[in-house]
Structure 1
């Protein structure tokens, strides 16, 4: 799915008979040239033969219910777009989907680890919560695309100290604001607070910009809120 618009149009190098095939650990076959050269997407975007695997497979989801929906109708609107497990596949996806800034109001992208659905009821999410921050649309503009990209890269690169506790991330488009959320497996303060601080660094936020942690248990209880707010 990678964007090949600016890819050189040279004829691919002919594969010689004495090239050797070698199996990588993840089962991918690599072709070596006479000089034992491994071609990557960074050096040869047309003929690359090596992928850079991620630690975890990730799935991109999309929904646009158009109006406030109950759980049943919302889940029907939730669409599983694609699952990827390499750096190259991620960029192929990112370069070929509609940018967050171009989505209609009410739309959401959800990037979650494979096997985890982006809903409170999923077993991986039900004991957790989410770090949330909103950005005014009239001041943020296209910058939301970079903010969402930085969030996704931090997730798939597993750059958080408690990466195993991260389930996924969501970007939501509304009439007057954008919202980015980082979903976690747990609501434990000792784990979630460092994640929130790292998220703040990832987004390069000003000191006066705050992220608030919202346990999913509060959302399930129809708008109730924890007595102790966790904010960074």
Structure 2
């Protein structure tokens, strides 16, 4: 890296410089807006030579609205990821895997998208879900939300929003209803909630829905 000649730093005539100091900006322009929780972005990319958990990479954590938008505006959208990759957004300290203590008794609301929806819906749905989570849009049930995963796959993409305890039926159903409302999913179209425990022991390719809205 080339060195900087400190003698060249002061070549600008001070009369031509912007005289506004940082102290003169309005305070509201300098204060970041804290979130209720710290959130962590994870990235998964398939690698058959490595164990599944080794393919999960913790990218960055944030705890203000401004830091979220800075992150969001500098990474690829889910639709730009390679097939076989995931984005996960979870509360700090929770890993995006069933076995994590915060997830092991829970499950997820699942949105199955066909291939044509990758361009029309995947990115919008993902952003709306993340904003719901970090903005505490699930109100009294926000503490039950662990995180969300966007999975890009050849046969159709998938988004799941994970909750901590599948036995808390009222919380789970309220979260599902709020999800449908925010994503503007038609009332006649149902989405299902799958328990992680059922997913782990399933015999075929389809996991039964414990709840539907």
Is residue 154 from structure 1 mapped to residue 132 from structure 2 by the alignment? yes
Q: Distance in 1 between matches of 2:181 and 2:166?
A: 20
Is residue 99 from structure 1 mapped to residue 83 from structure 2 by the alignment? no
TM-score of the aligned structures, taking structure 1 as reference length:
0.77
Which one of the candidate residues 177, 187, 191 is aligned to 2:156?
A: 177
Quick check: 1:138–1:176 contact (8 Å CA) kept in 2? Answer: no
Of structures 1 and 2, the larger Rg is shown by 2
Q: CA deviation at 1:141?
A: 1.4
Match of 1:212 in 2: 192
Quick check: 2:47–2:55 contact (8 Å CA) kept in 1? Answer: no
- Where is the helix percentage greater, Structure 1 or Structure 2? 2
Which one of the candidate residues 9, 14, 36 is aligned to 2:20?
A: 14
Which one of the candidate residues 203, 210, 213 is aligned to 1:229?
A: 210
Quick check: 1:59–1:113 contact (8 Å CA) kept in 2? Answer: yes
Q: CA offsets per residue over residues 120-165 of structure 1, 9 Å max, x none?
A: 1110000111000111122441431111100100000011030000
Unaligned runs of 5+ in 1: 1-10, 16-30, 41-48
Cα distance change of structure 1 residues 139 and 165 upon mapping to structure 2, 3 Å threshold: closer
Match of 2:100 in 1: 122
Q: Distance in 2 between matches of 1:75 and 1:105?
A: 18
Q: Distance in 1 between matches of 2:28 and 2:178?
A: 34
